[in-house]
Structure 1
Amino acid sequence: MLHKTRGIVISYIRYRETSIIVKIYTEKFGIQSFIENGVRSSKGKNKIALFQPLTLLDMVVYHDEKKDLHRISEAKSGFPFRSLPYDIHKSSIAMFLDEVLNKTLQEHTENDALFDFLYHSLIFLDETDEHFENFHLIFLLKYAFFLGFSPENAQEIVSQFRELNVLIPFENDYQKLMNQLIMADYQTPLFMNRAVRNHLLEIIIAFYKIHVEEFGEIKSLQVLREVLS
């Protein structure tokens, strides 16, 4: 049966000579995998741009609950990015966020609130021109709410670290900043240097590792740290 749905591309892998299998977080069905034929051929080279990570799509899809692999009938850009793929700072943040989503988006059911959060967060990052250097920190803290382990305050993180013997320094000054991040919106300007920002990110990632099984290492983290200097 055909269905209209919006989607957020998470990743794709090559399949046979000219095809891909693309993982998309859909508004209507949650995370799903689709086979797309011919996009790596000379005739389909322009179409593969639609399936770059974090592209926002409007789609018509064939979906069968009994199958693990589906097909796309129609796909077009739902929101053409103006700056996200071209600004090195934003694209580094996006690469990091995509890797986190790849590790954590699991549900195969509709979740309007989560989809809207992700969709509009990406649009905000694309459209904003200033004060986005802390975007990834605020995003991770907000996203944790949808994953079921959002901290109410820094002391909650401290308590869990202590209980599980997570040995990361988390002094009072950092706790104050963390509390500001927890309460912040994307528009909130919070001024901190690179070292402070990187340490807060290390704390948040450690908090994720407590709650997300097999979260593992983030390969894009080093690039993010270097770019947001």
Structure 2
Amino acid sequence: MIKKTQGIVIHYIKYKETSIIAKIFTRDLGLKSYIVNGVRSPKSKSKMAFFQPLTLLDLVVYDKENASLNRISEVKLTIPFQKIPFDYYRSGTALFIAEILGKSIYENYQNEYLFDFIYQAIILLDQEEINLGNYPIAFLLETSRFLGFSPNNAAEFFEQVHPAINEATYAVMQKQHFNQILQAPFNKEIKIPGVVRKQLLDDLIKYYSIHLETFTEVKSLEVLRNLM
């Protein structure tokens, strides 16, 4: 059956000499894997730009029930990026976000509310007016809301991440900034010291690993820490 849908590229792997298998989170069909033949050939290399992490696509796809691999009939960019591919901080953040999504969303998982949030968050990442330092923290917190395990406040969050530490005075500054972002996730006016951002990011990664059994090591985390 042929279907139209929007998609967000999570990642791809090389397949044979000139093809790829792309994992794409679609609005209507969920997370799907698509084989794209010949896209790495000399004549088609320009089309590889369509399958970079977090690229927003309009798709016409063949969707077969219970098929582990499907095919794309038509593909075009929904919104060409102006900054993400050309800004090392934004591109590094995009790789991190794509890796997080790849570890958090399972095959065929469909959630149009999560899709719409991610879609708008990617558009925001490509804009000038954004607090890039806080963006990964805000993204992780908001995504956890759609995945069903968002903390209600900083105290609850730190009790789960650091259960052995019960002192009320522990991480006072971290808790204060955490609550700020929890209440206004992408507010560009929120200022957080770099060392606190790194601690919050590490704690959020641990928080995800507590709530998602399949959540494994995030390889792009070290790169993002250096950027922060």
Normalised by the shorter chain, which TM-score bucket?
over 0.9
Query: Where do 5+ consecutive residues of structure 2 fail to align?
Result: none
SS at match of 1:195: helix
Corresponding position: 1:30 with 2:45 = no
Q: Which residue of 2 aligns with 1:90?
A: 90
AA matched with 1:198: K
Q: Report the Cα offset of residue 109 of structure 1.
A: 4.5
**Structure 2 CA distance for aligned equivalents of residues 196 and 166 of structure 1:** 18
Q: Which residue of 2 aligns with 1:115?
A: 115
Distance 1:130 1:162, change over 3 A: closer
SS at match of 2:91: helix
**Structure 1 CA distance for aligned equivalents of residues 162 and 199 of structure 2:** 17
Number of equivalent positions: 226
Q: Which residue of 1 aligns with 2:78?
A: 78
**Structure 2 CA distance for aligned equivalents of residues 110 and 201 of structure 1:** 26
Q: Is the Cα–Cα contact under 8 Å of residues 158 and 170 in structure 1 kept in the other structure?
A: no
SS at match of 1:200: helix
**Structure 1 CA distance for aligned equivalents of residues 109 and 207 of structure 2:** 26
AA matched with 1:90: R
Q: Which residue of 2 aligns with 1:197?
A: 197
Q: Which residue of 2 aligns with 1:47?
A: 47
Q: Is the Cα–Cα contact under 8 Å of residues 129 and 188 in structure 2 kept in the other structure?
A: no
SS at match of 1:150: coil
**Structure 2 CA distance for aligned equivalents of residues 145 and 220 of structure 1:** 22
Which residues in structure 2 correspond to 1:43-192 (within 5 Å)?
Answer: 43-106=43-106, 108-163=108-163, 165=164, 170-192=170-192
AA matched with 1:99: E
**Structure 1 CA distance for aligned equivalents of residues 216 and 187 of structure 2:** 30
AA matched with 1:129: E
Q: Report the Cα offset of residue 130 of structure 1.
A: 3.9
Query: Where do 5+ consecutive residues of structure 1 fail to align?
Result: none
AA matched with 1:220: S
TM-score if structure 2 supplies the norm length? 0.93
SS at match of 2:45: coil
Q: Report the Cα offset of residue 48 of structure 1.
A: 1.3
Q: Report the Cα offset of residue 170 of structure 1.
A: 4.9
**Structure 1 CA distance for aligned equivalents of residues 23 and 196 of structure 2:** 34
Corresponding position: 1:223 with 2:204 = no
Q: Report the Cα offset of residue 113 of structure 1.
A: 0.6
Q: Is the Cα–Cα contact under 8 Å of residues 12 and 21 in structure 2 kept in the other structure?
A: yes
AA matched with 2:126: D
TM-score if structure 1 supplies the norm length? 0.93
Q: Is the Cα–Cα contact under 8 Å of residues 124 and 130 in structure 2 kept in the other structure?
A: no
**Structure 2 CA distance for aligned equivalents of residues 4 and 161 of structure 1:** 41
- Percent identity over the alignment is 45
SS at match of 2:180: helix
SS at match of 2:102: helix
**Structure 2 CA distance for aligned equivalents of residues 129 and 152 of structure 1:** 28
* CA distances 1:142-166 after superposition (whole Å, capped 9, x unpaired): 0001111000101111222354x48
